[in-house]
Each structure stands twice: as structure tokens, then as C-alpha cells.
Structure 1
Amino acid sequence: MRAFGFLSFGHYGGSPAQGGLSARQMLHDAIDISVGADELGVNGAYFRVHHFAQQSASPMPLLSAVAARTQRIEVGTGVIDMRYENPLYFAEEAAALDLIADGRVALGVSRGSPEPAERGWESFGYTGSTDPRGADIAHAKFDAFLRAIQGEPMARAAEQPYGAPVQPGQGLRIEPHSPELIRRIWWGAGSRETAERTGTQGLNMMSSTLLTEATGAAFGDLQAEQIDAYRTAFREAGHAHTPRVSVSRSVFPIVTEQDRMMFGLRSGDGADQIGIIDGHRSTFGKTYTGEPDQLIEQLKGDAAVQEADTLMLTIPSQAGVELNLHILESFAQHVAPALGWVPNTDGPVQGEPLS
């Protein structure tokens, strides 16, 4: 494990008198957790994106604020739902964020997960999908986004152009342009087929928190097979750079008696779960809870954690800044070093060389 960060779902809501968070408090907490994580040497601050729900959405303002308040930590998403995005405006925002963050960006993107709204992307004005899950428009938009961030002309200059030193009919790219942004785009993959497509495209891969298959194999083993398929496709496509792969896990180290009181009951969660998502029998990863030596042994036995270069810890973000920083600090001090991690002092990690 070369890097670890936190993945926040950004939940809010409920009665403030009973500890419920407002959207404002959730966003400010997210910034403060990120600042504290940066001081601890944690490698990344990543946020889920959901629409029509009391969770994080429209991530660019939050990521920009985190980037402006931190020095080394990578800022990113896990994942942006392309069904809801204008690909060219997203390209402008992503490039601006990459420039603000001096390259400390890891933008996870995907078709999108199941959601509360019925074809909610149509309420955003994106109609025309013939797929009940909207995968057709998501992939078409993502292709346009990739072309835009790589500087391809996306419009032509007017016959009498106004406001820019361009020639009539000249091809115009999206501005601003960040030349290396393409190396910081990740696709969220929930199946082997998607992993192979991601490798062929030369993108980084975020292996999903669930996989749309259930063979009886352990979740970590299924993910390791997915990672191997991704890297094989990446290599066979002839890409010259080195990719990155992340997996996410819920991990709660018990290092104090308070931890034992708060997280000890989670020790029964240590089994994969099977469910139905989008009509597919799917596998969800288990929660790891225990004392550091137990966690080290368990995570060393998790094939996907060993294969990936980046581990994202899903955190109970609604529990407040102090508790979440305690979880991250406990993992950083008592577990991560035994997995090969060293504190971040230089900025984002580079891709893992392919063997």
C-alpha cells in the first residue's frame, strides 16, 4: 500500500438537537477533516457524489476549498455521476481545479450508482437515453469530456470572432487547459468488463465499493481478479505511463477503551454481503474492526488491498471532525506503516509500475 486516504459520503440531515448535521456543517466539517488529514500525512481526501439526496453533490466548490486550505493531500471524488454532467463545463471546472490544486487531483467518474430519483438526470435537462440506467448518455458524455480535457477542438471560431485573438473558422479548445489532467482521471469500475474497458482507455481505476457479481469468492479476491484484468488490458493497449488503482474499505482500529465502546459491536460485521443492485446479484465488502495487530493481519490477507496502490477508508463523516481524525490518526500510526505506507510529505503518489 503506497497511499491511503478517506472517502466521505457526506451525509447530513436529521434533528440538530439529536446531533444531525446541516448541509453547511457537513461541508465545513469536510474541509476541517481534510486539513487535519493533510497535517497527518494522509494522502487523499475523496468525496462521494449523489443527487436528490442529503449527501455531497456538486463537488467542485468543496474540492477547491480543500485544495486552497491544504498543501499536499490529493483531492478527488469517488465518483462523479456522468449522467448529470455537461461534459464541456465539467472539463472547464476540472481543469480549473487541477490548476488551483497544482495537480493534486484524482477525479473519479462513472456511469453513476442507483439513486433515489427516477431518471433524475432528465430533470437536469439530459434526455434521450434509451437505457433505463442511463449508461448510453453517460459514456457519450464521458468521451466528450476526455476529448475536451486533452485539448481537442470542441467548437469553431465565428466568421467574425469577438473577444479572442483567433482566426475565423479556427478550432477552439476548452479553456483553461491543464495538460496533465488526463493522468488524474479515474473510472469507477464495478465489473470485470468495465475494468477491462478502463484499462484499454488508459485511465486510472477506482474499484467500486460493490461488484456486480457474486460467485461465492471473497470480495477482496473478486476485486483482485478485476484489478488483474484491468492491468492486463492496460498493458495490452500499449499505454506507456503507469496507472493507479484504488480500493475502499471500512476500517475501525481499536486503540482506546472509547474505541472499544464505539466500534466493538462492529466486530460482527466482518463478512461480505450479497445483494441485488440494478438487477445484478452483487457483492459488498465487509467492515474491518479490531486491534491494530488484528487489522494488519486481516488487511494483509485481503488480496485487493495488497494489489492496489491506494486504500480509501470510508469514514462516518456525520460523526464530526474529532472522531474522524482520530480514526485516521489511529490507522496512520498503528496499522498503515505495517502495510508499507509512509506519511505523505511530497504530494500525490505516482502510478505503480506494471510488472
Structure 2
Amino acid sequence: MSDAPASDRGARRAARAIDALRRGWPFRIEGADGALDLLAVESARDAALAEFGSADLLISGERAVTLKLTNQRAAATPGPVRLADGAASVAAALAIADPALDLANPLKGPFRTIASGGEAAAATAMTMARHAGLLPAFFVRAAKGEAETACSTADVAALLDPSRLEIAARARLPVAASETAEIVAFRSPEEASDHVALIIGKRDGNPPVVRLHSECLTGDVLGSLKCDCGPQLHAALHAMADAPWGVLLYLRQEGRGIGLVNKLRAYALQDQGYDTVDANLRLGFPVEARDFAIAGQMLALLNIPRIRLMTNNPEKVARLEREGVDVVERIPLALPTNKYNEQYLATKRDRTGHQL
């Protein structure tokens, strides 16, 4: 193990820390400006909290804004906020962290915010929570003693580095849109999520039609009417079949990168009247948490430098171009609405810049 590259060793440490986070075990994050011991609120139990020995809470800047708290400094993007003696029990912490409980617990605080003790470590903790599919909230204390599980901010960056992505397997896959399609699977050494590309048609010297499609279990598999993901997926495949060739990049970034459970929490908030953007912010997440550098690496591994991108989102064009992909054309994808997704699509148009 000592002969492994430093990035591999770091990525393994980060993977172990994320596993501890999911299981409700304490772990440590070391950053350039301080180290923090953390225990995820959502997976914690009171016995583990008693052993952890701190009632301080660390919540995301987005959730802090929802609770009308301010960070330690003015910032366009608020950073994580630490609440001194924020919650003495897991139930009390969940009442602060989970917006589904806001109606049952409307009165919160008063809270006293204090310095995080390590801003880089705090920001990395929020990334790890999102990657684990948990609420971005932790019991926190200054690092003390020996840590059973520890990683650094650099370790987490190594784990999530798209350049570590490799082609794992490929095979012929006849699909309804094309009986000659090929599927290509990608993975990085320490990651559990596999991304895939579906190649439609015969490759030639022209840029292919490319569609970036983020995983949507509810829309792609279950036929949800709350979004347009399923119809977009199938329309894109058939459009590729009509072109000389095309590539569907299927990214395992459910719920715009916040995970399935958190997406369902956002759905519940939408039922209370919040739109997609505000639901994500109330949960404590950014509006857009997907990593499009993954798509850039997939295209590089497929040796596809120039593409015709099928999207209604100009930001996807900009993000891919920042990854070195030459987007020679943006192809819109127009589909009919229904009474369940009209508000969702209006929010995409009015608040996230989609050209619909």
C-alpha cells in the first residue's frame, strides 16, 4: 500500500471517511486552516452523540440563510455556519437540519454562531454529505486525540477528481432507438457510482449529437410526470438515431447532484409550495451541484473533442467548454408540458436560465 501514488492513498482515506459518515461514525477532516471532528446528524444516534461529546452544529450556508442566520463574513456564496450548543440530541439537531420538520418546529433558536474552526474542512464536509446523499449538517468539535477515521480536504478532492475516471467495460447493446448501439461504462478506482455512455450510429469525422443526462430514477424508470427527464431521454435517443451518430452520457448524479433521498425531500417541499430552486436551498444545497467535468472526461476517454450538444441549458455549454470540449452547436430539445411539470419547467426557464 505504501507504494501506491499519494492521490490513490488519499482517495482511499476519503472513501473510508464517507463510509463512516453514512454509518453514523465520527471522522476527522484536516484542512489548511484547521481540523474538525464531525458526526453526521442524519445518521447519528444519541449514544454516538454522547460519546462524541459536542452539541455544536455545523450547517451549510444555504440552510443557514433559510434559518436567517449569518456567516462569520460577508460572502456572495455563504459558507458553512457553526452553531454553539446548537442541539443536545439528534432529534433536536434534525429539527434544525431537516426542512421537512420546519412546520412542526417553527420556532428555532436563538442561536449563537461562532468561528467554524476550519473553514476548508467545513466546506469539504458539506461536499461529503452531498456525495453521501445525506443532509448537510454535522455535530462538530475541534479535532482532539486520535481519530479512527480521518482524511484531508486534498484527499476528498482526489476522490472526486474526474481525471481518475477510466473505461471499465464496453459491449454491444441493442436498444429501441438503435439495434447497433454500444454501451461504455466508466468508473474511478474508489467510487461506487458507474457512469455510462451509449453510442448510437456509426462514428464518422463529424461532431456527434451529444446529450448529457443526469440519472433520474423517478422520471427515467418510473415515468414520473413531475419532470421531463424520461421524455427528454427517449427523445434524445431517437434524435441521435436520425443523425449520423450520437452519444448519450448518462451521469449518476441524481437530483442535480444531491441524491435520490434528498430529491424526494425536495419533492415534499414542492408539495408545500416551494419551487425547485427554493426547495434545494431550504435543504441546504446549492441550486446546481452536478459535476460536468465528469462528462468532459468521458468524452476525452472516447476521443470526442467536438460535439453538437442537445440541451436547453446554455450553462451546460459553458461548463463543457471550460473542460476543453468544443461545442460547435447547441441543439434545443422541445417537448410538451403537463399539469404536473408546468411549474417545474417554468422555474427552469425563469430561475436557472433554460431556454424553453
Q: TM-score range by the shorter chain?
A: under 0.3
> What TM-score results when the alignment is normalised by the length of structure 2?
0.22
Structure possessing the higher relative contact order (Cα contacts under 8 Å, 6 or more residues apart): 1
> What TM-score results when the alignment is normalised by the length of structure 1?
0.22
